[in-house]
Amino acid sequence: MGLLPLSEPVLLVLLSLAEQPRHGYAILKDVAEMSGGRVVLSTGTLYGALQRLLRQGWIERFEEDESSRDRRAYRLTSKGRRNLQLEIDRMRHLTKLASLRAARKEA
């Protein structure tokens, strides 16, 4: 649980892997696409985040049959998926609360 609450880049990396396993470069492109070009990760930032997620057991690395050591793919573990869901629930609660409070202020 050491990574919660998640920073935006880490959340986007997890969301990218939630859909399907991806290679490093595919994650970079997907994160940029998801954020509309607002979050563009450098390779240094991406692999820093991947290493932390690997160490916490939120994601795992695997080698596809034809892929070399250069093209290892990453996927979410059940622990990672569970924690991602927790974070989504937290954010949902927060936005709901924010909407309620903002509406009350206007009224």
Partner 1 sequence: MLRLYRGLLYLYPAAHRREFAQEMAFVFGQAERDAAARKFGPRLLFRIHEVAGLLCGAFLEHLRHAFDGSDCNLFRRIDMHPQFRFPRSTVFLMIFVLLGVVLAIDKADIMARNGVGLSLWGALWSMFLFLAFVCATVGVIWGVLYATGRSGMHRLANVQTWPERH
Residues that bind partner 1 (CB under 8 A): 2-3, 5, 7, 23-25, 28, 40-48, 50-52, 55-56, 69-72
Smaller CB separation from partner 1, 61 or 82: 61
- Quote the least distance from Cβ 75 to partner 1, whole Å: 15
> Which residue, 58, 53, 54, is CA-closest to 82?
58
Q: For residues 51 and 99, which CB has a smaller minimum distance to partner 1 in the complex?
A: 51
Q: DSSP secondary structure string, 39-104?
A: ----HHHHHHHHHHHHHHTSEEEE--SS--GGG-EEEE-HHHHHHHHHHHHHHHHHHHHHHHHHHH
CB of 2 to partner 1, least distance (A): 5
- What's the min distance (Å) between Cβ of 15 and partner 1? 17
